[in-house]
Amino acid sequence: MLDIKFLRENPDIVKENIKKKFQDEKLPLVDEVIDIDKKIRALKQEGEALRASRNDLSKQIGALMREKKVEEANKIKETVNKNNQRIAEIDPELAELEAELLKRMMVIPNIIDKSVPIGKDDSFNVENQKFGEPVVPSYEIPYHADIIAKFNGLDKDASGRTSGNGFYYLLGDIARLHSAMLSYARDFMIDKGFTYCIPPFMIHSDVVNGVMSFKEMENMMYKIEGEDLYLIGTSEHSMIGRFKGQLVKESELPITLTSYSPCFRKEVGAHGIEERGIYRVHQFEKQEMIVLCKPEDSMEWYNKMWSYTVEFFRSLDVPVRTLECCSGDLADLKVKSCDVEAWSPRQQKYFEVGSCSTLGDAQARRLGIRAKGADSNYLLHTLNNTVLATPRGLIAVIENNYNEDGSISIPKALRPYMGGKEIIK
């Protein structure tokens, strides 16, 4: 959410930013906000003047009563009563206008970074850099579900009976490989100096509204019926929510956390849920990294964070690339974002395995997360990045370590978590 003062002073910049995000239908909101803001400030000014007048008049009434000038005092009391009546009218009117202002401010997109490429949708995303040589072996690599099935590692028939489409059972060595990747991702980030955390897997609606846009929430979140609770779609939600309403000591910055959680997503949209495979599912597990820092440090952390994901996948013998998200592909709260994509030798193309984003002070403004500076308090910047989301990450490891004889080589980094096993046959 933008600072109302910034919008008030820079309406043209805000409108141009809306155009860059191809959301022209939101352009009228800027003028509406400015109009409502004027009314709010006028009402506040009127209310303050009336309260100041009431205080002065009350003093006059006291003086007149002491002088036994009752008639004069009663006349002033009438004025005070009128003032009180108007104040009583202003307060609900002010509350209604402030609610209308917030409603509009919540859907005006954040100002994107100057480096973000301009484009309407993800087809305009720009490749930044490749890491590792993408290899296409001379032998055929089957569809990932078929590979896993050879090891009796996947049961979607049973999950269909228990839970429906979009869920799965992982079994045996495949399930163990899946867990090994998560354990390694945890330790990888701890070695980078991040504090490990297991957060709540459900959060209240005020936290949801603080960390994401309403449109995202509708397309992603599962709500618990009859309760003000939502299943998290990523641990970023509850991890940032942890600091809601907090005043952080500047000496504690930056706050660097890595969190494990199961994640639950509706996956509403044209892409749909995979019938056979486990690439796009309703339930998955994730190791995330979260940073809260000073505004001047956020871009440095952004570049560190995506590089950690690249390093993680390269240590698993998976070639990757980074893809800069264009303006139209950015969620409204994001300032800048890039995807880390893994090489698929079967498809001979890259697919997304992680996403790194800086949101500026948007989440902090919504949730009231501030730092106590030397001169004054200020809003923190928040960043998030995927270390590993799996079973999607599992697919990348399986495909890139699949051998001609049908076995799967276990990357060296994962062998300690697999009891020293080097290959799955």
Q: Where are the domains of the chain?
A: 4-105, 122-424
Q: Count CA atoms within 13 Å of residue 29 on its CB side.
A: 24
Is the pLDDT confidence value at 81 over 90? Answer: no
Evaluate whether 327 touches 318 at the Cβ level (below 8 Å): no
* pLDDT, tens digit (0-9, with 9 covering 90-100), for 376-396: 999 999 999 999 999 999 999
pLDDT of res. 315: 97
pLDDT band for position 425 (50/70/90)?
very high
Is the pLDDT confidence value at 249 over 60? Answer: yes
User: Considering only 62-66, 190-194, 195-199, 314-318, which range has the smallest mean pLDDT?
Assistant: 62-66
Please compute the mean of the pLDDT values over residues 171-179 and round it to a whole number. Answer: 97
* pLDDT, tens digit (0-9, with 9 covering 90-100), for 311-347: 999 999 999 999 999 999 999 999 999 999 999 999 9
CA distances from 419 to 34, 64, 313, 397 (A): 63, 91, 21, 18
pLDDT of res. 273: 66
Distance CA 233, CA 267 (A): 10
Please compute the mean of the pLDDT values over residues 292-305 and round it to a whole number. Answer: 97
**CA 391 from centroid of its chain's CA atoms:** 21
Is the pLDDT confidence value at 103 over 90? Answer: yes
Other C-beta atoms closer than 10 Å to the C-beta of 119 total 19
pLDDT of res. 74: 80
For residue 377, list its beta bridge partners: 372
pLDDT of res. 61: 79
Is the pLDDT confidence value at 215 over 80? Answer: no
Q: Which residue has the tokens 């003000």?
A: 228
* pLDDT, tens digit (0-9, with 9 covering 90-100), for 115-154: 999 999 999 999 999 999 999 999 999 999 999 999 999 9
Distance CA 264, CA 224 (A): 12
User: Considering only 87-91, 222-226, 234-238, 342-346, which range has the smallest mean pLDDT?
Assistant: 87-91
Domain over 122-424 is classified CATH 3.50.50.60: no
Please compute the mean of the pLDDT values over residues 94-111 and round it to a whole number. Answer: 95
Sequence-separated (6 or more) residues with CB below 8 Å from residue 323: 125, 126, 127, 128, 338, 339, 340, 341, 350, 352
pLDDT of res. 66: 81
The proportion of the chain whose per-residue pLDDT surpasses 70, expressed as a percent, equals 98
CA distances from 213 to 165, 266, 293 (A): 27, 15, 22
Is the pLDDT confidence value at 199 over 90? Answer: yes
Q: Count CA atoms within 13 Å of residue 310 on its CB side.
A: 19
Tokens linked to 113 = 């970074």
Tokens linked to 33 = 């906000």
Domain over 4-105 is classified CATH 1.10.287.40: yes
* pLDDT, tens digit (0-9, with 9 covering 90-100), for 415-424: 999 999 999 9
Distance CA 127, CA 321 (A): 7
pLDDT of res. 268: 62
